[in-house]
Amino acid sequence: MTTLTIAAAQFAPVDDTEANLATVTTAARDAAARGADLLVTPEYTSYFTADIDDDFVAAAQPLDGPFVSGLREVARETGIALVVGVAEVSDRPDRFRNTLVAVDAAGEVRCVYRKVHLYDAFGSRESDRIEPGGAEQLPVFDVDGVRIGLETCYDLRFPEVTRRLAAPETGAADLVLVPAEWVRGPGKEHHWHTLLTARAIENTIWVLGVGQAPPVGIGGSVLLDPSGVATTALGAAPGLLVGSVDTGVTDSVRRVNPSLSLRRYDVTTRWDRTRWDRTR
């Protein structure tokens, strides 16, 4: 049995990377003071505007740039790990990458995940400015004995993403993090909570959803246990969620509901980058 105290910083990032880094710094200090081992922030933490346009591309930074370097300093200062959404430069001059960066408490980058499923839905087209990550990625890393998997926002609508992170023969994650900028709209709060809960129940896994606060996002950050019960949650307002992940609870749930071991299907990748670029 292993326990891990985790925090989620729910806020609305702005179009100023230095200001956003200052917000992360304050949240990390608060999280550390409240005993957290890990702080998670929303999608697009480094830079955000309501319109994903050329300004996003211009604001993107490499992973050895000042924003991620600042995250590494914050981790070293506070002694906690960080998972933060970053606008990362792409090899293509008209694109950027929607990236999650995991930094350990010593300030070392432990895992990088580039969003696979771009948000070309509900009137949005992330693919106009974002380079997708490859489906072969398996972003799982360890914090104090707890295996943590990563996915981003629209990925949540594809259950095979979480299944691949959770399945013992692939990711074997104990906890899945879902940083998001879940856009407001009719029924969107219902979608967010339903999908997060489903991913927890069907995989008997801990799930932490971390949303941007309004005016664009819905907030709604929540930590769900492996039976889908919300152990701590926030509303729409900015705030810091702190909760604990206990793998002993996972073991108990899986003894009652061994759904992962009873599966009759595997998850395989379905990906052709050339075709993806050509059809968009």
Average pLDDT across the chain, whole number: 95
Please, how many CA atoms are within 13 Å of residue 237, restricted to the half-sphere of its CB? 1
As beta bridge partners, residue 180 has 211
Please state, for a pLDDT cut of 90, what percent of the chain lies above it: 94
Which is the catalytic residue, given 115, 126, 151, 181? 115
- Is a pLDDT exceeding 90 seen at residue 276? no
DSSP 8-class letter at 158: -
What confidence score (pLDDT) does residue 268 get?
87
Report helix, strand and coil shares of the chain as percent, to nearest 5.
30, 25, 45
Which is the catalytic residue, given 43, 126, 131, 181? 43
Residue type, 25: T
Which is the catalytic residue, given 126, 131, 151, 153? 153
Is 188 an active-site residue? Answer: no
The domain 3-278 is placed in CATH, from the list 3.40.50.720, 1.20.120.610, 3.60.110.10, 3.10.129.10, at 3.60.110.10
Q: Give the residue from 184, 36, 74, 183 showing the smallest Cα distance to 119.
A: 183
Rounded to whole angstroms, how far apart are CA atoms 41 and 185? 22
What confidence score (pLDDT) does residue 271 get?
64
Mean per-residue pLDDT for 93-99? 97
Band of residue 94 on the pLDDT scale cut at 50, 70, 90: very high
Is 43 an active-site residue? Answer: yes
DSSP 8-class letter at 275: H
Per-residue tokens: 167: 């399945």
- Residue-wise pLDDT for 205-263, tens only, equals 999 999 999 999 999 999 999 999 999 999 999 999 999 999 999 999 999 999 999 99
Report residue 139 CA to chain centroid gap.
Answer: 11
- Residue-wise pLDDT for 125-171, tens only, equals 999 999 999 999 999 999 999 999 999 999 999 999 999 999 999 99
Band of residue 278 on the pLDDT scale cut at 50, 70, 90: very low
What confidence score (pLDDT) does residue 277 get?
54
Sketch the domain layout of the chain as residue ranges: 3-278
- Which strand (E) or helix (H) includes residue 144? none
